[in-house]
Amino acid sequence: MQGTAARQQPRIQDAIGDFARLVAKAFLGGIGVAVAMSLAILALSANVQAATINETKAGTLLLKDATIDGGYAPAPQVATEVAIDVTGMVARTRVTQVFHNPGSEFVEGVYVFPLPEKAAVDRLWMKIGERVIEGRIREKEEARRTYEKAKAEGKKAALVEQQRPNLFTNAIAHIGPNEAIEIRIEYQQALAYDGGTYKLRFPLAVTPRYLRAAAPAIPDEPKAAEAQALEPGETLLEPSYAPEGCGPLNTVDIAVSIDAGVPVGAVTSSYHETVIEKAGGRTMISLVKDQEEANRDFELTWTLAPGATPQAAMFTQTRGDHEYALLMVVPPQPTAAERAAFDRMPRETILIIDTSGSMEGVSMTQAKAALEMALDTLRPSDRFNVLEFNSIMRTWLPSAVPATADNLARARAWVKQLRAGGGTNMAPALRFALDGGETPGYLRQVVFITDGGVGNEDELFKLIVARLGNSRLFTVGIGSAPNGHFMTKAAQYGRGTFTSIGDVKEVQEKMSQLFAKIEAPVLRDVQVRWPDGTPVETFPPRVPDLYLGEPVLVAAAAKAPLGTVVVTGLRGNQPWSVALTPPPDRNAAGVGALWARAKIASLMDTLAQGADVAQVRPQVVNVALEHHLVSAYTSLVAVDVTPSGPAGGVKTAMVKASLPQGYVGGSIPQTDTPATLQLLLGMLALMSAAIVTAIGRRTARIA
Amino acid sequence: MSGRARALRLVALLLALAGTWQVASAGWIHAKAALAQHLIASAWNGARDGGPSRRPWPWADMRPVARLTVPARGIDLYVLDNADGRALAFGPAHVSGTAAPGSPGNAVIVAHRDTHFAFLRHLAVDDEIDVEGARGVIARYRVRDVSVVDKEETRVLEPADAPLLTLITCYPFDALRPGTRLRYVVVADRIA
């Protein structure tokens, strides 16, 4: 027994030793691989750290500065002055910014600035010392050539181009050492209006958001920047900055003057402290001085004093041999008795619900909730039908039926069983709903609930335009990122409205607003009658119905001076009309530009409907040149006559900044796969397996 | 003794299985990406030859809408109409709501950075890209700008008046871990 025990002792010790060695080997092997892997990960993720050039929020003039190793440094701004003049539904904004080059070399700066979607940029001034040079409108290519030529000759020049309908760039060549250049841009914008509230936003994008003195080298991706960057060996500026943390001092001064044409109610500034004064028909709003650095967009909202009858206003502007007019009609707030009368007008409501795969989950819950709310608003005198579509279209009933309690109950049961799945094939549903089969005496409304996940937008727009007839199409966008462009345009072509529901919590509120609105139009069959014999070109060409809370805005142009205009319509079933007389002051700023911007937008819309670019382009260019507007095909360019900078090579780089404009929700799709990681982990496991096998064999041999 | 050997063999076997599984998964991603394009090619050719727009395989929830080629780099890809994660495994996808490829406006196409759009890193300003739309019309684009943006910067998806092509993939290209916030964006103007 003892012998056995003694023999076993060393064997156990051996075994423990073997095992310890084995663990040590495996451990060391593991560490080796882990270290190798970590190094690999570190090396690969270094790129991530270096690639954040777009941290800059927009609207900053940026100068390239190689002394901070590829980091882009914003030029300090001395002052920004914003003056906004509101006339009726139009705001004319004048932005004056003084840029100062604190370096010792001539530079070119590129200034990227966001503007509201419908902004019409029409003026550019460049002030150098005491000289003021006004920008001229040119065809895009010509403007660019003019600018490049001036740059090559060492002249100061500025160029304003439209990148997208709401994004512009301003390039300024040859800002001298220690020189300040004042740039002034003017633009028009139509105000947002809904439910009695006007909203005006100015993107306060002039704040340099960061200084990256210790930034790592810009990696190789911004090729556009590099393509125009410095030649090697060139000397660069070294701008002097306030120490990091202080940042350049940015004074922003905003002054707004409102002349709404009708009495103004409450005025609110959403994020900034303001002083509000009322004098005559005008309301003046200015920023309280000594505020902290303004780094939030300026937002102003105001209401009109409500009236029982529709209020209307007319603004005119004479330019050249044309007179331009802007008519604004604020819908009447119907009394309770009138509401009841409106409600007696029976409706035929066709509800369409998107049940494609992309609606699965929360979107489907929202959409069903929205549908049920829609069914709740129907009265027995109304008619309705429900249809769903994904890859195929399915109707609840082949045609609309009266909204009896029994029918509604059956429709609700049908809605309950709907499931999301399949593709998105919208055309058959739209074709069915817009079949021209309107029942006489009924107001036909098509309510279209979808996330707008379609690719063939243009085809669908054509379909809507061709088949709309007397129906009205209301789009309801569901989900966190509904396709706003499609929805807005579809509603526009469908002469209805677009409602966006981003959150399931909003379904109730937004849907009741929509249905309260479309319960009945406040004003139907709106016609604008001009004095006899005056040929007038208006936008929109056909006035849509007025729903509760919506204003109607018509821009018009005529060769002869405009007289009294009569706007007529049906309020409930009663004829209603209002006469508008042009004001004695026939010089309301911006009216002509707004008309031209509407015409350009309408021409650009025809592209979506299949018009030929070769035909549309010259028309857009004509209008834009005549009205001095920046468009997709025209730019503003200002060139100083005297050369002031070095001719030839320009020591600058173009950097694109990003929009700070609040885009709520949504993101670009994720496009990476775990393939690389899986491959690495897989190889690692296979290697470990090989190591363990080898150890196993050696242990076996030793034994 | 033999118990230890057996334990080691078991560990080795498990490691080998796990390794094979991971490598196969990675391979499957690449295989799907390559194979699907062949199936899609025949669906596309069928559609272009006058047939109806077909699905590449019966249970597919997408169909080809365009063909994207970069002649200088030998790239030939079929673009699908569904940009959700599942469909992206099979090919680049047109982002719904953006303009149709070749039509006025901003047409946005996204694809995986490690398969179909791995070539984007080699695209430079002034490179030319051809996009063949559903009616056989070929639109030619020239790269104007290359940039890296955060995934929330949806301005790159915004509509435009002029005909634009925007190609987007994840950045950096060599990242190990999926789920980056950065996107590599190539913007091209239509020139013909």
Max avg pLDDT among A260-264, A310-314, A509-513: A509-513
Residues A72 and A160 in one domain: yes
Residues A272 and A360 in one domain: no
pLDDT above 70: residue A355 = yes
B chain contacts of residue A119, beta-carbon cutoff 8 Å:
none
CB contact under 8 A, A54 and B5: no
List of residues 6+ apart from A217 with CB closer than 8 A = A50, A69, A70
CB contact under 8 A, B19 and A674: no
CB contact under 8 A, A678 and B22: yes
pLDDT at A270: 74
Average pLDDT of the residues in A45-53: 32
For the ranges A163-172, A384-393, A679-688, the lowest mean pLDDT is seen at A163-172
CB contact under 8 A, B155 and A659: yes
CA of A459: which chain B residue's CA is closest? B100
Distances (CA, A) of A104 to A235, A236, A649: 10, 8, 16
B chain contacts of residue A667, beta-carbon cutoff 8 Å:
151-152, 154
CB contact under 8 A, A167 and B180: no
Average pLDDT, chain A: 72
How far apart CA B9 and CA A690 sit, in angstroms, is: 10
Cis omega (within 30 of 0) for bond into A165: no
pLDDT at A644: 62
Max avg pLDDT among A150-154, A258-262, B144-148: B144-148
Average pLDDT of the residues in B3-21: 87
Q: Tens digits of per-residue pLDDT, A440-450?
A: 778 888 999 98
E strand spans, A491-571: 498-501, 524-529, 536-539, 552-558, 565-571
Partner residue facing B151 (CB), from A223, A633, A668: A668
Average pLDDT of the residues in A634-658: 57
What band does A226 get if pLDDT is binned at 50, 70 and 90? very low
pTM above 0.80, yes or no: no
> Domain limits at A14?
2-51+686-702
CB contact under 8 A, B151 and A667: yes
What band does A623 get if pLDDT is binned at 50, 70 and 90? very high
Residues belonging to chain A: 703
To probe the interface with A, which of B115, B161, B187 has the most A CB atoms within 10 Å? Answer: B161
How far apart CA A455 and CA B159 sit, in angstroms, is: 13
Q: How far is A419 from chain B (nearest CA, A)?
A: 16
Whether the CB-CB separation of A621 and A633 falls below 8 Å is answered with yes
Whether the CB-CB separation of A536 and A582 falls below 8 Å is answered with no
To probe the interface with B, which of A631, A673, A699 has the most B CB atoms within 10 Å? Answer: A673
Residues A89 and A31 in one domain: no
Residues A291 and A207 in one domain: yes
CB contact under 8 A, A613 and B163: yes
Q: Is residue A128 part of a domain?
A: yes
pLDDT at A311: 65
Q: Fill in the amino acid letter for B182.
A: L
Which of the four CATH numbers 2.40.260.10, 3.40.50.720, 3.40.50.300, 1.10.760.10 does domain B3-190 have?
2.40.260.10
Residue A427 maps to which CATH number?
3.40.50.410
pLDDT above 90: residue A498 = no
Q: What is the CA A171 to chain-centroid distance, rounded?
A: 23
A chain contacts of residue B62, beta-carbon cutoff 8 Å:
423
CA of A114: which chain B residue's CA is closest? B155
- Which among A479, A558, A151, A124 is positioned nearest to A319, based on CA atoms? A558
A chain contacts of residue B5, beta-carbon cutoff 8 Å:
696, 699-700
Q: How far is A692 from chain B (nearest CA, A)?
A: 6
Higher local confidence (pLDDT), B179 or A415: A415
Average pLDDT of the residues in A212-223: 25
Higher local confidence (pLDDT), B36 or A657: B36
Name the A residues in 440-479 with CB < 8 Å from any B CB.
Answer: 452-458
CB contact under 8 A, B175 and A680: no
pLDDT above 80: residue B155 = no
Partner residue facing B15 (CB), from A357, A661, A692: A692
Residues A247 and A208 in one domain: yes
Provide the token pair at A605.
Answer: 């819309």
Residues of chain A with pLDDT > 70, as a percent, come to 66
Q: Is residue A681 part of a domain?
A: no
Residues A135 and A268 in one domain: yes
To probe the interface with B, which of A500, A668, A692 has the most B CB atoms within 10 Å? Answer: A668
CB contact under 8 A, A668 and B168: yes
What ipTM was predicted for this assembly?
0.81
Residues of chain A with pLDDT > 90, as a percent, come to 9
Q: How far is B105 from chain A (nearest CA, A)?
A: 8
Q: Is residue A679 part of a domain?
A: no
A chain contacts of residue B159, beta-carbon cutoff 8 Å:
164-165, 485
pLDDT above 60: residue A41 = no
Q: Tens digits of per-residue pLDDT, B42-76?
A: 877 776 665 555 677 777 777 788 889 998 888 89
CB contact under 8 A, B8 and A18: no
To probe the interface with B, which of A21, A456, A672 has the most B CB atoms within 10 Å? Answer: A672
pLDDT at A351: 93
Name the A residues in 585-614 with CB < 8 Å from any B CB.
Answer: 604, 607-608, 613
Query: B98: helix, coil or strand?
Result: coil
| A685 reaches B (C-beta below 8 A) | yes
Q: Tens digits of per-residue pLDDT, B160-187?
A: 778 889 999 988 888 877 878 888 899 9
Residues A176 and A137 in one domain: yes
pLDDT at A36: 57
Residues A30 and A137 in one domain: no
pLDDT at A534: 73
Cβ contacts from A onto B, under 8 A? 262
Higher local confidence (pLDDT), A17 or A528: A528
CB contact under 8 A, B171 and A221: yes
- Domain spans of chain B? 3-190
Residues A43 and A23 in one domain: yes
- Beta bridge partner(s), residue A325: A316, A556
What band does B152 get if pLDDT is binned at 50, 70 and 90? confident
Max avg pLDDT among A546-555, A621-630, A656-665: A621-630
pLDDT above 90: residue A138 = yes
Q: What angle do CA B23, B29, B32 make, to 5 degrees?
A: 130
CB contact under 8 A, A685 and B19: yes
For the ranges A306-310, A338-342, A444-448, the lowest mean pLDDT is seen at A306-310
CA of A47: which chain B residue's CA is closest? B172
Residues A283 and A420 in one domain: no
CB contact under 8 A, B153 and A668: yes
Domain count, chain A: 3
pLDDT at A504: 66
Task: Give me the long-range contacts of A63-67 (CB less than 8 A, separation at least 24).
Answer: A63/A101, A63/A103, A63/A107, A63/A109, A63/A237, A63/A239, A63/A652, A64/A107, A64/A225, A64/A229, A64/A230, A64/A236, A64/A652, A64/A653, A64/A655, A65/A236, A65/A237, A65/A238, A65/A239, A66/A230, A66/A236, A67/A236, A67/A237, A67/A238
pLDDT above 50: residue A397 = yes
CB contact under 8 A, B25 and A166: no
Residues A277 and A222 in one domain: yes
Higher local confidence (pLDDT), A561 or A533: A561
How far apart CA B79 and CA B81 sit, in angstroms, is: 7
What band does A506 get if pLDDT is binned at 50, 70 and 90? confident
For the ranges A376-390, A598-612, B139-153, the lowest mean pLDDT is seen at A598-612
Max avg pLDDT among A88-102, A268-282, A621-635, B176-190: A621-635
CB contact under 8 A, B172 and A47: yes
Question: Of A503, A518, A533, which one is at a domain's C-terminal end?
Answer: A518
- Beta bridge partner(s), residue B112: none
Query: Is the dihedral angle over the CA atoms A667, A671, A673, A676 positive or is it negative?
Result: negative
For the ranges A51-65, A448-462, A526-540, the lowest mean pLDDT is seen at A51-65
Q: Tens digits of per-residue pLDDT, A63-100?
A: 443 333 333 444 445 467 889 988 777 888 998 877 76
CA of B5: which chain A residue's CA is closest? A696
DSSP label at residue A133: E
pLDDT above 90: residue A412 = yes
Residues A149 and A215 in one domain: yes
CB contact under 8 A, B8 and A674: no
How far apart CA B45 and CA B37 sit, in angstroms, is: 12
Average pLDDT, chain B: 83
CB burial string B133-168: b at 16+ within 10 A, e below: bbeeeebbbebbbbbbbbbebbbbbbbbbbbbbbbb
- Which among A62, A107, A66, A52 is positioned nearest to A222, based on CA atoms? A52
